[in-house]
Amino acid sequence: MTDLSKTCIIGDIHGCLKSLQKLLKLVEKEAGTFVFLGDYIDRGSESKEVIEYILKFKKKHREVITLLGNHEIMLINYLRGYDDGTFMRAGGKETLISYGIKPKTKPEKAAKLFPQEHMNFFRELPLLWENEHGIYAHAGIEPGVHLTRQVSSYCLWIRDEFIRSPYKFSKPVIFGHTVFREPLVQENKIGIDTGAVYGGKLTALLLPEKKFISVDGEKGSPSGIFRR
């Protein structure tokens, strides 16, 4: 029987549909609340399919929180014409191809080729979320700053300033973004990006018991991508 009091958090997916499907089959009946930490797209070959799958999952379950990742904001900026080439360098080409869009297509034209439901999904993703079990953000949060004053430059991009901070957060902060071979567990921080798209694993965390569930990723690992 599903324990509705539990929270299940899923790390960076990056277009790894098969890994996502395997993982959700394992955890779907384990919790009442599901939190996705962002970076659904780019690098992997099935970004469109991942979004479709998550949208269906959201309709099936009562409480599913899908957070904004830095790769989603890069896509939004690219489609608005504000990109300096970062989107393509960060795996955006694979995302466009998954939507049947040629990488050389002009951004304003490409924007019209995305399903409206998907565009609404990207635009409505919140920066962070909190419940009784923890605080959730894609990359982390700025130490010492109230949640209502957190900004995207930190929540989407922060790394060492957050990870190495001795600051005592009021609750565990659950994050992705920075890739580890195994989940990073500190007193008040848990990192669960275990590099699915790099040949690592796709990881979920169950709270409050701090139980990790992982499945294999889908690609080979480039040297040096894992922090430890």
DSSP type of residue 88: I
Average pLDDT (134-157) is 98
Distance of CA 183 to the CA centre of its chain: 14
Does pLDDT of 54 surpass 60?
yes
Instruction: Tell me the pLDDT of the chain averaged across its residues.
Output: 95
pLDDT on residue 64:
99
What structural domains does the chain harbor? Answer: 7-216 (3.60.21.10)
Q: Which residue has the tokens 């079990």?
A: 133
Band of pLDDT at residue 227, cut at 50, 70 and 90: low
Average pLDDT (126-136) is 98
**pLDDT per residue as tens digits for the range 153-208:** 999 999 999 999 999 999 999 999 999 999 999 999 999 999 999 999 999 999 99
Does pLDDT of 220 surpass 80?
no
Helix or strand (DSSP H, E) at 34: strand 33-36
Does pLDDT of 222 surpass 80?
no
Length of the chain in terms of residues written: 228
- What strand order describes the sheet that includes 201-207? 63-66, 33-36, 7-10, 201-207, 211-216
Average pLDDT (119-123) is 98
3-class secondary structure, 216: strand
Q: Which residues pair with 63 in a beta bridge?
A: 33
Does pLDDT of 219 surpass 90?
no
Band of pLDDT at residue 226, cut at 50, 70 and 90: low
3-class secondary structure, 227: coil
Distance from C-alpha of 135 to C-alpha of 37, rounded to nearest angstrom:
11
Distance from C-alpha of 154 to C-alpha of 112, rounded to nearest angstrom:
30
Average pLDDT (74-95) is 96
If one counts every other C-beta atom within 10 angstroms of the C-beta of residue 209, the result is 9
pLDDT on residue 4:
87
Q: Which residue has the tokens 């951004």?
A: 107
Strand-strand pairing, 189-191 and 173-175 = parallel
For 51-67, give the DSSP string.
Answer: HHHHHHHHHHSSEEEE-
Q: Which residues pair with 222 in a beta bridge?
A: none
pTM of the predicted model, to two decimals?
0.95
Structure tokens at 74: 């890069």
Does pLDDT of 44 surpass 50?
yes
Does pLDDT of 224 surpass 60?
no
pLDDT on residue 223:
47
